[in-house]
Amino acid sequence: MADIDTAALKDNFAVVAGHGPDEVALYFYSYLFLRYPQTREMFPPAMTKQRDRLVAALLRIVSNVDKVDQLVPYLEDLGRDHRKFGTVTAHYPAVGEALLTTLRHFSGSAWTDRLAADWAAAYGVVAGAMSGAAEKVAVTQPAYWEAEITEVDRRTFDIAVLTVRTDEPVPYLAGQSVSVEPTTARPREWRWFTPANAPGGLEIELHARLIPGGSVSTALVRSSKPGDTLHLGPPFGRMTLEPGSRRPLLMVAGSTGLAPMKAMIQQVARDGGRRTALYFGARTGREVYDRKALTALSDWHGWLTVVTAVSDDIRWSGPHGLVGEVAADAGEWSDHDVYVCGSPAMVGATVKRLLADGVPQTQIRFEEFGEA
Amino acid sequence: MTDATAGMPDDITGATLTSAAFSPAKGFSRGGYDAQEVDRFLRLGAAAVDRLNGRLVAAEQRLREAGAQIQELRDRIERDSRTNEVQHAISVLTTAQITADSTVAQADEYSARVMTEARDLYDDARRDAAVLQQETEDKSRAVYEDALQRVADVERENQQRLAQLTLAAVSAQNELDEQTTYLRTLRDAASIQMQKFLEGMLDHVAEEYGRAHPMAAGAAGAARVPAAGRSVAATPGRTQARRSRRNQRLPRRPGTPSAPTPKRRTPGIDDVAAVSLGPDSQVSTQVSEARTQNDPGD
């Protein structure tokens, strides 16, 4: 984007966003659906979350518009992921037109030909990266995988462990997530879930925790049943085992943040085993929903230590407290590869504490779950 | 006809040039026009053409400007009308979307509220249950430990009592044994004394009877020895019966130190024995024999 005035784009976007991010996104989608009505069916009836996503993506793109090396991998992932919505290369000009019209609309008198040209050029780069990556992967990969639920194990009233089966293996890496669309209960709504087993097989274990008001999580936990169909989107996320690293591992998981850790532990076992400490945290003893598997894992693998900490249960006989603090108090982790997954609050507090304890930032990888 | 000597009119036309009339050439040359007149006409004509061209360019410029203005106005009108339609449509779509979002959000919010309330209830119930369970466990542990303590106390007390009772029993047994031994001795002595007394009586009767009938007295003296042997052989049943009767007559608590002395209880027999018996050594020997026969390990 050498000949694009990126500073001007950032300034202009700030002006536009000043009208209210949701207002801008509403205008964008309304224009898109008005001019290209066929695109409407690619989106769910309720668009609130979709608008949040658009604004977040735009913000990320605009913030990094002058850092192409960081932006391009993100855009390529985004492009590959958009295939599951039915997005094809032909849709990109329509979106570009809607975007430029929206920017012009909210820029008012600040809109200039130069800005229009710069935005058009920048969008060309974005669309090129996205559609290029999508076209490239389309040769070898479907837009999504169809999966049938084979087992629903409701472990607590708000946590379920689902086993699903695909016709061909989904090419994720241990620790990565896939987006899930409950095709009957919540069509066209996708949320991230992390496989709890290492890749390669046809079965995938998903851990779903019900988020109050969360449509997809509610559907999966409360109303899914064997035989239901899910769509699984392409894998996403960079919380994976670092290739070639022989450092010991510290894994800190809160609630269903356990899923990626289980997958990575399986992967470590396949790779020959490595000293690993898994700290699992839950609020109550009942919410230690995968106790049997945790016991089995630590029994099978001599190199694995499992500690379960509970924060709000007077009846719990093991360690009490927030799992991040229990883990940090328990040892010296600065020579470990550290993985953290859980609620945003849990991840934030744990990462902060570990950094303060001297764990290098480059050795910490984390993923937040929540609204997904 | 244009008079070439006159000035060039501003509204010059083609006819102005073609109808120009010049004076005949003067001097020796024949024919032609006055050169000065022609030159002057051409100069005036050229200037007039330049003027006209200038006006034409200006007019064309004005025309272009006007055309542009017209186009701009047309564009603006068209754009305005289109923009208004688009804006209107966008506004309608936006409103519809907001309504849909709001409806879904309300449903989601309701669902979230219900779930949150359910979770709060669940949490409260769980905490209450945990507290209750803990309390119950604490209480039952306390009760259990208390019971254990009591059991230990009772056992200790029992053992102490048992020890006391054992001591008392041993002492009572000892006393009983002593009394038993005394009573056996007394019984046997009494039995022998009684036998001696009866024998004495029999001798006396025989003696008296002999004085009356000497023949019968001889027969009675011969029958006396076997009768004494029978009395010894028949001793067990009678001895026990006597002892039982004596016990009934003389109930005594074990260990009572001030037990009545045998003399006081059986004065008649003792008196008789004292009269009829021989030396003590003889009695002792017979008591020892009687005990051996009647109470083997009683």
The ipTM is: 0.76
* Lateral strand order in the sheet of A229-232: A191-193, A178-182, A229-232, A145-156, A159-166, A203-209
Nearest to A48 among B93, B105, B131 (CB): B105
Helix locations, chain B, DSSP H: 14-18, 35-212, 214-233, 235-249, 262-265, 267-276, 280-294
Interface mutation target, options B114, B116, B120, B126, chain A, most CBs of A under 10 Å:
B126
Q: Is B16 left (phi over 0), alpha (psi -120 to 50) or beta?
A: alpha
Given this model, what pLDDT does residue B144 score?
93
pLDDT at B260: 47
Mean pLDDT of B26-55: 80
- For the stretch B195-209, pLDDT in tens is 999 999 898 888 888
Residue for token digits 């002492």?
Answer: B171
Burial class (CB in 10 A: 0-12, 13-18, 19+), A338: buried
> For residue A227, what pLDDT band results from cuts at 50, 70 and 90?
very high
Separation of alpha carbons A70 and A54, rounded Å: 19
Chain A residues inside the 8 Å CB shell of B119: 158, 212
Residue A114 pLDDT > 50: yes
Is B105 near chain A, with CB under 8 Å?
yes
Give the pLDDT mean for A322-334: 95
Q: A215 at the B interface (CB within 8 A)?
A: yes
Which residues are bridge partners to A341 per DSSP? A253, A367
Lowest mean pLDDT among A100-114, A191-205, B65-79, B216-230: B216-230
pLDDT in tens, B147-200: 999 999 999 999 999 999 999 999 999 999 999 999 999 999 999 999 999 999
- The dihedral through the CA atoms of A74, A234, A184, A158 has a sign that is negative
Please report, rounded to a whole number, the percentage of residues in chain A having pLDDT higher than 70. Answer: 98
Instruction: Round to whole Å and give the CA distance between B276 and B285.
Output: 17
Instruction: Tell me which chain B residues have a C-beta less than 8 angstroms from the C-beta of A30.
Output: 89-91, 93-94, 97
- What is the reported pLDDT for A372? 37
Note whether A135 and A78 are within 8 A (CB): no
Nearest CA in chain B to A31: B90
Sign of the C-alpha dihedral, residues B247, B248, B249, B251?
A: positive
d(CA A135, CA B256): 119
pLDDT bucket at B46, cuts 50 / 70 / 90 = confident
Angle at A238 between CA A234 and CA A243, to 5 degrees: 110
CA nearest to A105 within chain B: B87
What does the pLDDT read at residue B238? 47
- Cα-trace Rg, chain A: 22
Cβ atoms of A289 and A156 within 8 Å: the answer is: yes
Q: What would the pLDDT profile of A68-102 be if each residue is shown by its tens digit?
A: 888 898 899 889 889 999 888 889 999 999 999 99
pLDDT tens digits, A235-274 = 888 899 999 899 999 999 999 999 999 999 999 999 999 9
Residues of chain A positioned with their CB less than 8 A from the CB of B134: 314-315
Per the structure block, which two tokens stand in for B153?
Answer: 């106390």
User: What helix, strand, coil percent values describe chain A, rounded to 5?
Assistant: 45, 20, 35
pLDDT at B83: 75
Quick check: helix, strand or coil at residue A230?
A: strand
Give the relative orientation of helices A91-107 and A6-17 as an angle to the nearest 10 degrees: 70
Interface of B with A in 121-140 (CB under 8 A): 122, 126-127, 130-131, 133-134
Supply A27's token pair.
Answer: 């205008």
Mean predicted confidence (pLDDT) in B50-69: 86
Question: Residue A211's closest chain B neighbor by CA?
Answer: B112
Does residue B17 contact residue B4 with C-beta atoms inside 8 Å?
Answer: no
State which amino acid sits at residue B123.
D
pLDDT in tens, A275-300: 999 999 999 998 999 999 999 999 99
Q: What pLDDT is stored for residue B220 in this prediction?
A: 60
pLDDT tens-digit series, residues A11-54: 999 999 999 999 999 999 999 999 899 999 889 888 998 899 89
| pLDDT tens profile B201-244 | 898 888 888 787 777 666 666 655 554 444 444 444 444 544 44
Position A370 pLDDT exceeds 60: no
Arithmetic mean of pLDDT, B266-292: 43
pLDDT at B50: 86
Amino acid identity at B281: S
Any idea what the Cα angle at residue A248 is, between residues A246 and A250, rounded to 5°?
A: 135
What tokens does B98 get?
């907001």
Quote the pLDDT of residue B222: 64
As given in the structure block, the two tokens for residue B235 are 């001793």
pLDDT digits (tens, 9 = 90+) for A128-155: 999 999 999 999 989 999 999 999 999 9
Q: CB neighbours (10 Å) of residue B174?
A: 12
Q: What is the mean pLDDT of chain A?
A: 92
Q: Give the type of residue at A229.
A: T
Specify burial of residue B98 (Cβ count, 10 A radius: 0-12, 13-18, 19+): middle
A320 touches chain B (CB under 8 A): no
Q: Which residue, A343, A169, A110, A157, is CA-closest to B114?
A: A157
In whole angstroms, what is the distance from residue B127 CA to residue A188 CA?
39
Task: Please state, in angstroms and rounded to a whole number, the distance separating the CA atoms of residues A159 and A11.
Answer: 45
